Amino acid sequence: MATQAKRPRVAVSRQGTVAGYGMVARESVQAGELLFVVPRAALLSQHTCSIRGLLERERVALQSQSGWVPLLLALLHELQAPASRWRPYFALWPELGRLEHPMFWPEEERRCLLQGTGVPEAVEKDLANIRSEYQSIVLPFMEAHPDLFSLRVRSLELYHQLVALVMAYSFQEPLEEEEDEKEPNSPVMVPAADILNHLANHNANLEYSANCLRMVATQPIPKGHEIFNTYGQMANWQLIHMYGFVEPYPDNTDDTADIQMVTVREAALQGTKTEAERLLVYERWDFLCKLEMVGEEGAFVIGREEVLTEEELTTTLKVLCMPAEEFRELKDQDGGGDDKREEGSLTITNIPKLKASWRQLLQNSVLLTLQTYATDLKTDQGLLSNKEVYAKLSWREQQALQVRYGQKMILHQLLELTS
């Protein structure tokens, strides 16, 4: 379905690819060279499927939290349509029953292997949303149109699998700068482009134009080497959650660790001695909520070289650590006033220069975060450094270990910087 450059420079292969399936260069490619083209007519979406008219008419009724229902219904219909023009494309899909997203792991295994990483909580939300979406929107729609949806596709299990497939394989065209106020574009399935695997240090990128999508090399690719796209700046916990794989440590330069915002509040409360001090911590927290710097389900995100939520963490440490009188003045100013930030620069290299009270609160928050994991850094390090032991782990155990280890390395770096 996808057209390539005049010379066949790429090939789908099971050999020489990180996931046992991907795309390799058949000859050396230079940066900027076109790898292949996908005409917009080949994209599979709610706007190109054979029931697009119906989906458009029912657009309001099909609105959901995910925004994916129209595409998923398009897939459900085309999968069972004998004359679907996308049947050759479906033949290239991975086997749906063998997807390795943590949402398909037994709950006990998921919690055991990924405790503390944030993945189990994200998966639980996904599963609840999938069930709700299917029961309240998707199934009633299919039952209302039995001529378009056979009994074999009216299945929560299949819907579950297709959600995972869309999560891992769909593309979302970025908005133009002048369209920033618009709703995000709906996801689409892009044949050929979705075969490429991901690396943080990728060598290709998908470009969008009016009539087609173009996969272009971003750096030289030697003959026989795999071609990698980027799914965005993704930490390992996001990769395993959404795509079912990780980049082994230390390859993922976009890896991060989260400190839950409420954990910083808990660390501040642990430092109080009287009820009045505890109440003041809660008052400061409410003030930070009003400033929209924190939330009960939010997290401070720490990368290897930067704090991605620098403003939020700086403001939180400042407000929770400042003298009571200074807090009163700040509150009276309704959060305004002096905006000097030299003391609150939270680049990784500047953390040792923070005020002692800030460093202490940050350190206590890291220690509380490390307690949420089922294993410590030394245990994970032992598994990772022993090749024989590592090789005996199951694939899921290996993937989960990489997620935990990457996060703990970031948190331990933070511990050293705050000491």
Residues sharing a CB contact under 8 Å with residue 182, sequence separation 6 or more, in sequence order: 175
Burial class (CB in 10 A: 0-12, 13-18, 19+), 161: buried
Give bridge partners of residue 198 from the DSSP assignment. 229
Domains of the chain, by residue range, sit at: 10-43+190-243, 51-171, 256-418
User: What would the CATH number be for the domain defined by 256-418?
Assistant: 3.90.1420.10
So what's the pLDDT on residue 324?
Answer: 95
Alpha carbons 203 and 22: distance in angstroms, whole number: 14
Give Cα separations from 403 to 114, 244, 263, 283 (angstroms): 8, 12, 20, 36
Q: CATH homologous superfamily for 10-43+190-243? A: SET domain (2.170.270.10)
User: What would the CATH number be for the domain defined by 51-171?
Assistant: 3.90.1410.10
Question: Which pLDDT tens digit goes with each residue over 162-210?
Answer: 999 999 999 999 988 766 677 889 999 999 999 999 999 999 999 999 9
Residues sharing a CB contact under 8 Å with residue 125, sequence separation 6 or more, in sequence order: none
So what's the pLDDT on residue 179?
Answer: 66
Question: What's the gap between Cα 142 and its chain centre?
Answer: 30
Rg (CA), the chain: 25
Q: Do the Cβ atoms of 35 and 227 come closer than 8 Å?
A: yes
Question: What's the gap between Cα 131 and its chain centre?
Answer: 21
So what's the pLDDT on residue 336?
Answer: 62
Give Cα separations from 290 to 89, 250, 262, 285, 308 (angstroms): 50, 38, 15, 9, 21
So what's the pLDDT on residue 7?
Answer: 61
Alpha carbons 55 and 412: distance in angstroms, whole number: 50
Alpha carbons 174 and 191: distance in angstroms, whole number: 18
Phi, psi of 156 (to 5 degrees): -65, -35
DSSP helix/strand/coil, 105:
coil
So what's the pLDDT on residue 345?
Answer: 59
Run of H or E residues at 61: none
DSSP helix/strand/coil, 215:
strand
- Of the candidates 313, 331, 333, the residue with the CA atom closest to the CA atom of residue 323: 331
Q: Do the Cβ atoms of 372 and 267 come closer than 8 Å?
A: no
Q: Do the Cβ atoms of 190 and 206 come closer than 8 Å?
A: yes
Low-confidence ranges of the chain (pLDDT < 70): 1-7, 178-180, 335-345
- Of the candidates 230, 117, 103, 90, the residue with the CA atom closest to the CA atom of residue 164: 103
Q: DSSP string covering 156-190, please?
A: HHHHHHHHHHHHHHEE-PPPPGGGTTSPPPPPEE-
State the amino acid at position 266 in one-letter form. E
